[in-house]
């Protein structure tokens, strides 16, 4: 046991027992961040803030929500929205944060792609991030079902049905997931458990892992400069704070992030109070009705691009059913970003604007994702179906074929 | 400056995505309809003409494709549409001929007692209804005390002359609609007599509606006053009482206009008609309207109440036909029930945003003080 002497204050008392100074050094004061970063690097902290908002407002909502098909709709729309003091505020904060968190995740992801932050040495950061994205998707989907509105019900019907496409076990799997032959009370109850218990625990664990994965390769920077963090940190600690290329996480990095969070919150509460409708489908304010199919069924905006890849393949090819092709493409779309560090084989770690071909690839990908997103909502008829088809093809080609070819060309160019 | 450039790029792509997913996709999925028009003659004729134009286009298309069955179907549909237009034109032309100024309320009462009394009550004048539940017709026939409060004279006249057409349920019930028409064709009387009778009965309804409104207002006033009797006088109390009075008046209009079929559960209102009777009559149970302001929005409700067929072709819900003032109040009531925290949300929202504006200023100052040692 360590030598315990009479403490000269609470912090000292804690320091002798928990080494809080050492802990704060590791977590904050001597956790080094490159100085040359822009506001896009603040997205991580904004995501942490949004997750905290979701967690806290979620706890408040669980106090009044009833996971029962007969009570769920009214417990949300009447009890929480109208009877509980400020229930509407928690609900809107939860709903808007659930939507905005995906916008920020996408910006975070695309930032990583643009600056090559997934490349050699940083693969685990990228993979843990993608894992977070996938679990967040499951979390969002299970949460979307809880108010038991029309779109909740039909989206659940459509999405759970997808598992039926898996060979051999599909049909049994669908029944296993739903807990019944159709989406019904057992489905709601188990999705409630997933949404408020299991998935949040998994998310918190992966967030911790995601943070940890940054420690050894360190955060990338705006010019993808390779820094000797130990050397720069020494410089900083020796007093050359202006000359050092790194800053401590606290207060250097966080003081900047705090500005972005405060500004972001103005926008966030504008949405919460005046523009919450964008995050809540009006159709979901009709109670679920198994006998009445809505005219259009579509997922929330952040799933539209992969939904469009799913339904983009609308005709059979050589005996293979359209549904199966779509499902395979959808499956690929879910996992393909995990493989990014290996699809982009070039050793060059540089921002996209210093890699001409990759630069073009990046913007084509972004536009294609937006096209997929918009057409994922439009009814898949006539010309829309064809736009969706070609955009899906372009998406798959960009990642599976074009990106590896570009990086091979880059490698050859570098050798010359 | 570089950061600002990056920020603008992020904003531009976010805005583009938002525009595509929200306004653009919605404009494609929910085609635009002309806004509610309380001149029902104008509304009905332009709507019927629109359908004729649509059917003409379909016929031209079918002729281009040279498909015999399609041409035949399109021709039939066009004939139906033209017939419907002609019916509407005839109906509103007859309404135009009625001189409402010549109506005599006492003769109207006699007419009511001879013709309308079989189905409709008029509590305001002590005339009890013969039907106290919905088992006979699927819905309780309305008490007409409030009729002239809800509807304008021309709509009432059209409703009497040809109920199925004025209510836009002729596609479902045709001539077999539960309310029989009263016009020279059905009664065998001359047009002058029919018009005079209609003018008389509407004059009577107007007189009753004035009384009805007065009585309802007095009842509401008394109820609100009783509720607040023990509260100390203050500006806050006056404001609250005024708010509740307005709400109660709007609620009364909602009950009179929609309450025979629809519930408003979140305000504790349940329709007196039996659900099964309504289902038998209309084909499905009319939805509860508590959340309609959120699921349909004000604009949709406004257009839908004005002309149900425009937004939901084929629906069995009759056009409500409310006059402009009443409709605004009914929709205001629907909003107050479905979005009861709107005021609180909007005022609190501003304060929260101001809080973060101030916080941002301090955050920027703090960041500057830290980074002055780093740059």
A118 CA: distance to closest CA in chain B (Å): 20
CB B166 within 8 A of CB B91: yes
Beta carbons of A301 and B349 less than 8 Å apart = no
Tens digit of each residue's pLDDT (9 = 90 or more) over B140-182 = 999 999 999 999 999 999 999 999 999 999 888 877 788 989 9
Burial of B346 (0-12, 13-18, 19+ CB in 10 A): exposed
Report the Cα–Cα distance between both ends of chain A, in Å, rounded.
62
Q: How many Å lie between the alpha carbon of B6 and the closest alpha carbon of chain A?
A: 8
Provide the pLDDT for residue A416. Answer: 62
Chain A residues with CB inside 8 Å of B296's CB? 282
Please report the pLDDT score of residue A319 as a whole number.
Answer: 84
Pick from B294, B341, B363: CB nearest A285: B294
Residues of chain B positioned with their CB less than 8 A from the CB of A78: 266, 290
The alpha-carbon gap from B165 to the nearest alpha carbon of chain A, in Å, equals 27
- Out of B6, B294, B366, whose CB is closest to A282? B294
Domain layout of chain A by residue ranges: 31-297, 307-415
From CA A76, how far away is CA A144, in angstroms rounded?
12
Which residue in chain B has the smallest CA separation from A34?
Answer: B374
Residues of chain B in contact with residue A379, where contact means CB-CB under 8 angstroms, are 28-29
Number of A/B CB contacts below 8 angstroms equals 125
Give the residue among A90, A81, A86 at the shortest CA–CA distance from A60: A90
CB-based contact A377 B344, cutoff 8 Å = no
Burial A156-192 (b: 16+ CB within 10 A, else e): bbebbebbbbeeeeeeeebeebbeeeebbeebbebbb
CA angle A193, A198, A202 (to 5 degrees): 155
Residues 6+ apart with CB under 8 A from B148: B156, B202, B205, B206, B208, B209
Residue A318, classified by CB atoms within 10 Å of its CB into exposed (0-12), middle (13-18) or buried (19+), is: exposed
Cβ under 8 Å to A: B residues 292-331: 294-297
A81 to chain B: which residues are within 8 Å by CB?
341
Query: Nearest 10 degrees: CA dihedral of B351, B356, B362, B364?
Result: -150
Looking at the complex, report in whole angstroms how far the Cα of residue A245 sits from the nearest Cα belonging to chain B.
9
Token digits of residue A177: 């997931």
- Tell me whether B373 touches chain A (CB under 8 Å): yes
B1: contact with A, CB 8 A cutoff: no
- Torsion sign across C-alpha atoms B319, B324, B327, B332: positive
Asked if residue B307 lies in contact with residue B47, where contact means CB atoms within 8 angstroms, the answer is: yes
Tell if the CB–CB gap between A373 and B21 is shorter than 8 Å: yes
Residue ranges of B 29-88 with Cβ closer than 8 A to chain A: 29
Neighbours of B222 (CB within 10 A): 10
Is residue B292 within 8 A of residue B301, CB to CB? The reply is yes
Testing the interface with A: which of B262, B295, B299 to mutate, by most A Cβ within 10 A? B295
Interface residue B4 vs chain A (CB under 8 A): no
Residue from A35, A268, A273 to probe the interface with B (highest B Cβ count within 10 Å)? A273
Calculate how close chain B gets to A302, using CA atoms only, in Å.
10
Tokens representing B96?
Answer: 């135009």
For residue B1, give how far its alpha carbon lies from the nearest alpha carbon of chain A (Å). 11
Residues 6+ apart with CB under 8 A from A356: none
pLDDT of chain A along its 416 residues, tens only? 778 899 999 999 999 999 999 999 999 999 999 999 999 999 999 999 999 999 999 999 999 999 999 999 999 999 999 999 999 999 999 999 999 999 999 999 999 999 999 998 999 999 999 999 999 999 999 999 999 999 999 999 999 999 999 999 999 999 999 999 999 999 999 999 999 999 999 999 999 999 999 999 999 999 999 999 999 999 999 999 999 999 999 999 999 999 999 999 999 999 999 999 888 999 999 999 999 999 899 999 999 999 999 999 998 888 888 999 999 999 999 999 999 999 998 888 899 999 999 999 999 999 999 999 999 999 998 899 999 999 999 999 999 999 999 999 988 887 76
Top-level class of domain A31-297: mainly alpha
Inter-chain contact A259–B295, Cβ cutoff 8 Å?
no
What is the per-residue DSSP string for B199-256?
Answer: HHHHHHHHHHHHHHHHHHHHHHHHHHHHHTTTSPP-HHHHHHHHHHHHHHHHHHHHHH
- Which residues are paired to A385 by β-bridges? none
| Min Cα–Cα distance to chain B from A35, Å | 9
CB A315 within 8 A of CB A112: no
Interchain contact, B294 vs A38, CB within 8 Å: no
Nearest-by-CA chain B residue for A274: B346
Which residue in the block uniquely carries the two structure tokens 């904003």?
B11
- A88 contact residues in B (CB cutoff 8 A): 341, 344-345
The residue behind tokens 């000797």 is: A228
Q: Which residue out of A148, A262, A297, A383 would a mutagenesis test of the B interface target, given it has the greatest number of B Cβ atoms within 10 Å? A: A262
CA distance B339 to A233: 55
Residue B31 pLDDT greater than 80, yes or no: no
Say whether B366 and A304 touch across the interface (CB within 8 A). no
Distance separating alpha carbons of residues A97 and B18, to the nearest angstrom: 16
SS3 A25: helix
Closest chain A C-alpha to B338 CA, distance in angstroms: 9
User: Who among B349, B364, B374 is closest to A269 (CB)?
Assistant: B349
Tokens describing residue A140: 């969002």
Measured CA to CA, the distance from residue A89 to residue B344 in angstroms comes to 10
Give the long-range contacts of residues B339-348, CB within 8 A, separation 24 or more: B339/B293, B339/B294, B340/A82, B341/A81, B341/A82, B341/A88, B344/A88, B345/A88, B345/A89, B345/A92, B345/A273, B346/A273, B346/A274, B348/A89, B348/A273
pTM over 0.90: yes
| CA dist B62 → A122, B54, B56, B69, B79 (Å) | 62, 12, 10, 9, 15
Is B21–A256 a contact, with Cβ atoms under 8 angstroms apart?
no
Q: In a 3-state reduction of DSSP, which class is residue B82?
A: helix
B14 touches chain A (CB under 8 A): yes
Integer Rg of chain A from CA: 24
Q: How far is CA A158 from CA A182, A183, A305, B96, in A?
A: 11, 10, 16, 53
- Token digits of residue A81: 């929205």
8 A C-beta contact, residue B278 and residue B15? no
In whole angstroms, what is the distance from residue A312 CA to residue A322 CA? Answer: 9
Q: Do A296 and B266 touch (CB under 8 A)?
A: no
Asked if A160 and A146 count as a contact pair (C-beta separation under 8 A), the reply is no
Contact of B3 with chain A, judged by CB distance below 8 Å, is answered with yes
Measure CB to CB from residue B20 to each of A88, A263, A373 and give the nearest one: A373
Give the C-alpha separation, A283 to A7, whole Å: 62
Q: Do B367 and A366 touch (CB under 8 A)?
A: no
Helix (H, G, I), strand (E, B) or coil at A178: helix
Q: Please judge whether B291 and A77 are an interchain contact, meaning their C-beta atoms are less than 8 angstroms apart.
A: yes
**Which positions ≥6 away from A193 have C-beta within 8 Å?**
none
Instruction: Classify the C-alpha dihedral B348-B353-B357-B359 as positive or negative.
Output: positive
Q: Which residues of B touch A266 (CB under 8 A)?
A: 353, 356-357, 360
The answer to whether residues B134 and B274 touch, using CB atoms and an 8 Å cutoff, is: yes
Distance between CA B115 and CA B118 in Å, rounded? 7
Provide, as residue numbers in chain B, all residues whose Cβ is less than 8 Å from the Cβ of A77. Answer: 266, 290-291, 294
Phi/psi at B340 (5° precision): -70, -15
> Are B346 and A366 a contacting pair at CB < 8 A?
no
User: How far apart are the CA of B15 and the nearest CA of chain A, in angstroms?
Assistant: 11
């Amino acid at each position: 046991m360590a030598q315990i002497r009479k403490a000269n204050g609470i912090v000292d008392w804690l320091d002798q027992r928990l080494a809080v100074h050492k802990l704060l050094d590791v977590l904050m004061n001597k956790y080094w961040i490159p100085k040359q970063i822009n506001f896009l690097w603040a997205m991580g902290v904004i995501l942490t803030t949004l997750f905290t908002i979701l967690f806290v407002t979620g706890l408040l909502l669980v106090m009044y929500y009833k996971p029962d098909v007969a009570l769920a709709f009214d417990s949300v729309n009447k009890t929480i929205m109208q009877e509980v003091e400020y229930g509407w505020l928690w609900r809107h904060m939860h709903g808007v944060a659930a939507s905005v968190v995906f916008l920020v995740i996408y910006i975070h992801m695309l930032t990583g792609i643009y600056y090559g932050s997934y490349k050699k040495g940083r693969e685990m950061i990228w993979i843990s991030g993608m894992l977070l994205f996938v679990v967040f998707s499951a979390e969002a989907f299970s949460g979307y079902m809880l108010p038991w509105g029309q779109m909740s019900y039909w989206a659940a019907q459509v999405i759970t049905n997808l598992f039926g496409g898996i060979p051999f076990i599909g049909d049994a799997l669908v029944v296993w997931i739903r807990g019944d032959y159709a989406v019904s009370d057992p489905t709601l109850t188990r999705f409630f458990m997933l949404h408020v218990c299991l998935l949040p625990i998994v998310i918190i664990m992966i967030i911790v892992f995601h943070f940890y994965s940054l420690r050894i390769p360190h955060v990338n920077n705006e010019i993808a400069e390779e820094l000797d963090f130990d050397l720069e940190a020494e410089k900083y600690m020796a007093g050359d704070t202006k000359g050092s290329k790194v800053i401590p996480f606290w207060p250097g990095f966080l003081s900047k992030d705090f500005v972005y969070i405060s500004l972001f919150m103005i926008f966030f509460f504008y949405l919460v109070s005046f523009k919450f409708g964008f995050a809540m489908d009006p159709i979901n304010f009709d109670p679920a009705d198994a006998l009445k199919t809505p005219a259009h069924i579509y997922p929330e905006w952040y799933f539209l691009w992969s939904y469009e890849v799913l339904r983009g393949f609308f005709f059979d090819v050589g005996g293979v059913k359209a549904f199966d092709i779509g499902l395979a493409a959808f499956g690929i779309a879910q996992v393909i970003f995990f493989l990014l560090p290996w699809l982009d084989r070039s050793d060059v770690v540089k921002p996209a604007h210093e890699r001409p071909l990759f630069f073009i690839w990046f913007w084509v990908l972004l536009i294609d994702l937006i096209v997929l997103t918009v057409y994922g909502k439009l009814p898949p008829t006539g010309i829309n179906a064809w736009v969706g088809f070609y955009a899906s093809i372009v998406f798959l080609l960009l990642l599976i074929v074009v990106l590896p070819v570009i990086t091979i060309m880059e490698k050859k160019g570098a050798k010359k | 400056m570089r950061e600002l450039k990056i920020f603008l790029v992020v904003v531009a792509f976010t805005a583009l995505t938002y525009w595509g997913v929200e306004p653009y996709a919605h404009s494609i999925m929910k085609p635009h309809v002309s806004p509610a028009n309380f001149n029902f003659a104008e509304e009905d004729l332009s709507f019927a003409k629109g359908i004729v134009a649509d059917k003409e286009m379909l016929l031209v298309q079918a002729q281009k494709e040279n498909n015999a069955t399609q041409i035949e179907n399109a021709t039939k549909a066009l004939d139906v549409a033209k017939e419907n237009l002609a019916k509407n034109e005839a109906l509103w032309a007859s309404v135009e001929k009625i001189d409402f100024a010549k109506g005599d309320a006492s003769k109207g009462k006699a007419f009511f007692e001879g013709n309308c009394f079989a189905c409709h009550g008029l509590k305001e004048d002590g005339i009890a209804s013969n039907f106290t539940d919905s088992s006979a017709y699927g819905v309780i026939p309305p008490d007409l005390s409030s009729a002239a409060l809800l509807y304008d004279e021309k709509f009432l006249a059209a409703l009497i002359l040809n109920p199925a057409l004025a209510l836009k349920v002729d596609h479902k019930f045709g001539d077999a609609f539960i309310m029989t028409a009263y016009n020279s064709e059905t009664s065998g009387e001359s047009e002058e007599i029919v018009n005079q009778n209609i003018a008389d009965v509407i004059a009577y309804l107007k007189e009753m509606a004035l009384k009805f409104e007065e009585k309802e207002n007095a009842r509401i006033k008394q109820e609100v006053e009783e509720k607040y009797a023990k509260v100390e006088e203050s500006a806050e109390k006056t404001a609250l009482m005024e708010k509740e009075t307005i709400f109660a008046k709007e609620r009364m209009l909602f009950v009179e206009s929609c309450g025979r079929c629809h519930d408003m559960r979140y305000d504790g209102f349940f329709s007196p008609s039996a659900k099964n009777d309504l289902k038998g009559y209309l084909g499905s149970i009319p939805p509860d309207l508590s959340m309609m302001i959120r699921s349909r929005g004000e604009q949709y409700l406004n257009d839908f109440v004005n002309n149900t067929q425009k937004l939901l072709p084929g629906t069995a819900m009759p056009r409500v036909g409310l006059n402009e003032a009443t409709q605004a109040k009914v929709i205001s009531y629907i909003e107050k029930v479905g979005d009861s925290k709107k005021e609180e949300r909007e005022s609190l929202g501003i304060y929260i945003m101001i809080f973060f504006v101030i916080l941002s200023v301090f955050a920027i100052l703090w960041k500057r003080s830290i980074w002055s040692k780093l740059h």
